[in-house]
Homo-oligomer: A and B are copies of this chain.
């Protein structure tokens, strides 16, 4: 039998603990209803993008971990975990949801992916929902594996030669690419329905070249992105919660406000995930029309503008990076309210 050291033992116990979920944190069951409750409770529809670029993580954090671990990837992971916990602690009462982008974790290999896991678990403990920003998309059997990995349960042998189902990443929602059509989407819908999770499908993305494919004019129908919007609406139509929203929604960039407005009309029952506010150029005015009269219907993402707010601040130094993030979140909430 492998002799675990303290670190390995702690990690295994943490993972076992995660299998017994705090059911209060899962209510309401329907993802859209749960997200909307969080939006109302926190008083904002802000999604904080946890994109921990190593160069911008404060030096005092990096010095501590790189001085403590010989394995540089472990030190990188521990730096990311500490940084993210500081951000989550600072904003947990102000925002309903956070969105770690897995690329910035995969940079540091499997250790980086461990930092992604621990970030998601910590967010849940602090009463904040999580979107795994992975933009996954593949054929049916592979999509099923992704959906089980990030949203559902995976099978493992148990000690009696049978099988057990355990939670893996157990995020609340995930971003998905629609290039492969319904086969690549259905497995995610199945896991969402079974475990009360959510799905955000790329429709009109925030980047400059999003038009290369998304703006192509399809004969007799309209643009690709308009057709994708119709697909998203139909794919979620069977699964509308009590708040009137489905757990299937689109990703639509703040940087294309005209299309955002048009798409709002095409997907009345979807919660929009809106990237592009702040660092990419989108403004509060650009996104105003995406909300319903109750302030619901969308979550607006900001990453660098919040988590690295200290860099552009006269008031805060890197030691106060978390307080700076809180201040930037308060500012963004005011901005979105039109104050």
User: Which residue of B74, B150, B154, B219 is within 8 Å of A218 (Cβ)?
Assistant: B219
A317 at the interface (CB under 8 A from B): no
For the complex, give the distance between the alpha carbons of A55 and B218 in Å.
Answer: 43
A242 at the interface (CB under 8 A from B): no
A85 at the interface (CB under 8 A from B): no
For the complex, give the distance between the alpha carbons of A41 and B323 in Å.
Answer: 59
B15/A55 in contact, CB under 8 A = no
Q: Which of A20-28, A179-187, A331-339 contacts B (4 or more CB under 8 A)?
A: A179-187
Q: Which of A30-38, A190-198, A209-217, A287-295 contacts B (4 or more CB under 8 A)?
A: A209-217
Query: Contact string, A111-152, partner B, CB cutoff 8 A, digits 1/0?
Result: 111101100000000000000000111111011011011100
B228/A182 in contact, CB under 8 A = no
For the complex, give the distance between the alpha carbons of A67 and B117 in Å.
Answer: 25
A312 at the interface (CB under 8 A from B): no
For the complex, give the distance between the alpha carbons of A288 and B79 in Å.
Answer: 51
Chain A contacts with B in 298-319, Cβ cutoff 8 A: none
User: Which residue of B1, B7, B66, B150 is within 8 Å of A157 (Cβ)?
Assistant: B66
For the complex, give the distance between the alpha carbons of A104 and B148 in Å.
Answer: 10
B181/A209 in contact, CB under 8 A = yes
Nearest residue (CB) in B for A101 is B142
* Contact A66:B159 (CB < 8 A) given known A148-B107, A180-B210, A216-B218: yes
Q: Which of A90-98, A162-170, A257-265 contacts B (4 or more CB under 8 A)?
A: A162-170
A227 at the interface (CB under 8 A from B): yes
User: Which residue of B101, B113, B116, B140 is within 8 Å of A207 (Cβ)?
Assistant: B140
Question: Using Cβ atoms and an 8 Å threshold, which residues of chain B touch A146?
Answer: 103, 106
Given contacts A1-B70, A62-B157, A139-B275, 6 further A-B contacts (CB under 8 A): A4-B70, A12-B74, A15-B71, A106-B149, A139-B205, A139-B206
